[in-house]
């Protein structure tokens, strides 16, 4: 279980990452994320939209893929933050990616007012897709 100071540190990193978001197509819906690795490193990401909407990327996946690209495979926590009335949860695609790279991670869903909720991956995606070789 993460302690409050660490949660707030991760929320601050996600909030800072959110500032770099490229979101002209959603009406400036900026999202930031921070992922914590097993060895204490923090990787951040922001949403990056594209005129071809399918080419857009969520903040959570940007942060996760940055960690994976740096050789990290043990992700222990993820924060996602946006300027929303309630803490924002990860979308379905991001939940599936988390299930692959961080099945036991804690997910902190936050908003820019400082509200947050903590959930496990089991709560967010109880039946993830798993590819199994025949």
Binding residues: 58, 91, 94
Structure tokens at 87: 């803490």
Annotated binding site for Zn(2+): 58, 91, 94
Q: How far apart are CA 125 and CA 21, in angstroms?
A: 26
Closest CA to 30 of 76, 86, 80: 80
Catalytic residue (one of 19, 60, 122, 130):
60
Complete DSSP assignment for 55-112: G-B-HHHHHHHHHHHTT---EEEEEEEES-SSPPPPPHHHHHHHHHH-TT-EEEEEET
Give me the residue label for tokens 């995606």. Answer: 125
The answer to whether 19 is a known catalytic residue is no
The catalytic residue positions are 60
């Amino acid at each position: 279980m993460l302690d409050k100071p660490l949660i707030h540190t991760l929320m601050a990193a996600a909030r800072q990452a959110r500032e770099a978001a490229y979101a002209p197509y959603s009406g400036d819906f900026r999202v930031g994320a921070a992922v914590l690795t097993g060895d204490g490193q923090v990787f951040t990401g922001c949403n990056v939209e594209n005129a071809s909407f399918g080419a857009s990327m969520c903040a959570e996946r940007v942060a996760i893929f940055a960690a994976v690209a740096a050789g990290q495979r043990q992700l222990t926590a993820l924060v996602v933050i946006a300027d929303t009335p309630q803490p924002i949860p990860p979308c379905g695609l991001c939940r599936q990616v988390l299930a692959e790279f961080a099945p036991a991670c804690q997910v902190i869903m936050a908003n820019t007012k400082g509200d947050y909720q903590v959930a496990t991956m089991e709560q967010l995606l109880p039946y993830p897709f798993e590819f199994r070789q025949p």
